[in-house]
């Protein structure tokens, strides 16, 4: 489940400042806590290094598990009782019963379960994430539509989130039937090892951190962005050189795809600066795969801002095209936003070669990605309480110093 239930206001020891030029606009949203202002020094309002480059990672907020116990610890379920299920969702109460481990005490991963790392990953407020997948033996992923994979019944996926070296949450997804996914979070005991219990309501501020375990009700916010609901296990991510464990190559070798893409055909395009590819990749995995895509049920499809890298079929096989063909470029660069009050005053979704004057600039995409606590502006609207400073800086670097040839704007 990519979506996390987060309290939108960032009130955990950070003082975030809005430049005066936007104070009136921010007030209409009830205040604007943002980290997009190019530099957040001791006074909260710097403009970044003198060379105009984005803020360094040393200024990124650090998320720590500060308490020895989780916010809610109801005690262990009945050991070894794998018959008790959640009455509504059909999920077992104990993580031991989901099939991840063959030996829970030693955390031995079960036979058939494969650890993997998608080449493009989702920001999780500083938590590290371990991922595991079980694909039913002899079954194939339907890749007839390379942009919308359909998984065989019986597929299981786990995401294990760790803070300061301690497991805090494991999310489970199980395709129980056609179009029927059982999913939800398991909250670990305070020691991150003894047990993990299913929760439908989630847990706020695990261990005194800003990290929240999501309620099950939030899952659809992001997961409806894919027709078969599973995020992260898809062609673009698994074709990257940084992917491991489960990749296009391993799935091909195991005869687990109905349609095999040509090897090495899904390289994320760049504009010759080395700045475009990282920015496009981050927007794809954090915005496009879940909400900002043309998938019919995607929550942000109606905005027309499409940030998913879609695969196309050409004479040379499958491709992501060049930078200027991507949905991201076509629907954002030099495009006036439709969001009030940013639909005037020179704002664009992405302003080519934006200098980020005054620490803000006129590019709405990075502004929203760095904002927290502002209804309709903070992006993602759930999922996170702390901006991803490092990757946000990479996005700003492309916008400010990338190649935007005249005549290529929509």
Range of the domain at 126: 95-237
Q: Does the residue 122 lie in any domain?
A: yes
pLDDT for 310-360, tens place per residue?
998 766 678 899 999 999 999 999 999 988 888 877 899 999 999 998 778
Segment 349-375, tens digit of pLDDT: 999 999 998 778 999 999 999 998 887
pLDDT value at 227 more than 90 = no
In a domain, 185, yes or no: yes
For the chain, what is the domain count?
A: 1
Indicate whether 158 belongs to any domain. yes
Quick check: 141 pLDDT over 90? yes
Dihedral (C-alpha) 217, 221, 227, 230: value to the nearest 10 degrees? -70
Cβ atoms of 385 and 46 within 8 Å: the answer is no
Question: Is residue 3 situated within a structural domain?
Answer: no
Task: Report if residue 41 sits inside a domain.
Answer: no
Over range 172-181, report the average pLDDT.
Answer: 94
Helix, strand, coil percent values for the chain (each to nearest 5): 20, 20, 60
User: How far is residue 219 from each of residues 173, 223, 290, 342, measured CA to CA in Å?
Assistant: 11, 6, 11, 29
Position 94 scores a pLDDT of: 95
The verdict on residue 211 lying in a domain is yes
Residue 163 lies in a domain: yes
Q: Check pLDDT > 90 for residue 400.
A: yes
- Which residues have CB under 8 Å from 232's CB, separation 6+? 2, 118, 120, 121, 122, 131, 285, 289
In a domain, 61, yes or no: no
């Amino acid at each position: 489940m990519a979506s996390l239930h987060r309290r939108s206001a960032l009130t955990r020891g950070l003082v975030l400042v809005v430049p005066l030029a936007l104070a009136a606009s921010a007030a209409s949203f009830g205040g604007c806590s943002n980290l997009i202002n190019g530099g957040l020094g001791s006074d909260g309002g710097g403009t970044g290094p003198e060379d105009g480059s984005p803020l360094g990672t040393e200024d990124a907020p650090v998320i720590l598990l500060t308490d020895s116990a989780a916010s809610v610890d109801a005690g262990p379920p009945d050991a070894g009782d794998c018959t008790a299920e959640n009455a509504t969702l059909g999920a077992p109460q104990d993580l031991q019963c989901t099939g991840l481990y063959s030996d829970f005490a030693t955390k031995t991963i079960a036979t058939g379960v494969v650890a993997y790392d998608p080449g493009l990953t989702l920001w999780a407020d500083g938590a590290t994430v371990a991922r595991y997948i079980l694909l039913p033996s002899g079954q194939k992923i339907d890749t007839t539509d390379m942009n919308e994979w359909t998984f065989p019944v019986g597929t299981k996926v786990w995401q294990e989130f760790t803070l300061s070296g301690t497991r805090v949450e494991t999310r489970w997804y199980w395709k129980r039937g056609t179009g029927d996914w059982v999913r939800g979070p398991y909250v670990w005991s305070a020691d991150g090892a003894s047990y993990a219990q299913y929760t439908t309501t989630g847990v706020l501020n695990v261990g005194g951190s800003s990290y929240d375990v999501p309620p099950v009700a939030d899952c659809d916010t992001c997961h409806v962005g894919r027709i078969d609901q599973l995020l992260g296990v898809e062609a673009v991510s698994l074709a990257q050189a940084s992917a491991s464990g489960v990749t296009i190559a391993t799935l091909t070798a195991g005869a687990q795809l109905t349609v095999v893409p040509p090897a090495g055909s899904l390289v994320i395009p760049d504009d010759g600066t080395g700045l475009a590819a990282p920015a496009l990749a981050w927007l794809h995995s954090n915005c496009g795969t879940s909400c900002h895509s043309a998938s019919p049920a995607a929550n942000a499809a109606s905005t027309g801002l499409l940030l998913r890298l879609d695969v196309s079929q050409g004479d040379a096989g499958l491709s992501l095209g060049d930078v200027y063909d991507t949905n991201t470029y076509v629907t954002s660069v030099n495009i006036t936003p439709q969001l009030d009050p940013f639909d005037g005053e020179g704002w664009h979704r992405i302003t080519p070669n934006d200098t980020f004057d005054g620490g803000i600039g006129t590019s709405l995409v990075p502004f929203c990605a760095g904002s927290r606590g502002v209804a309709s502006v903070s992006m993602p609207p759930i999922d996170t309480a702390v901006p991803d400073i490092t990757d946000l800086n990479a996005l700003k670097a492309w916008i400010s110093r990338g190649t935007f040839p005249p005549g290529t704007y929509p």
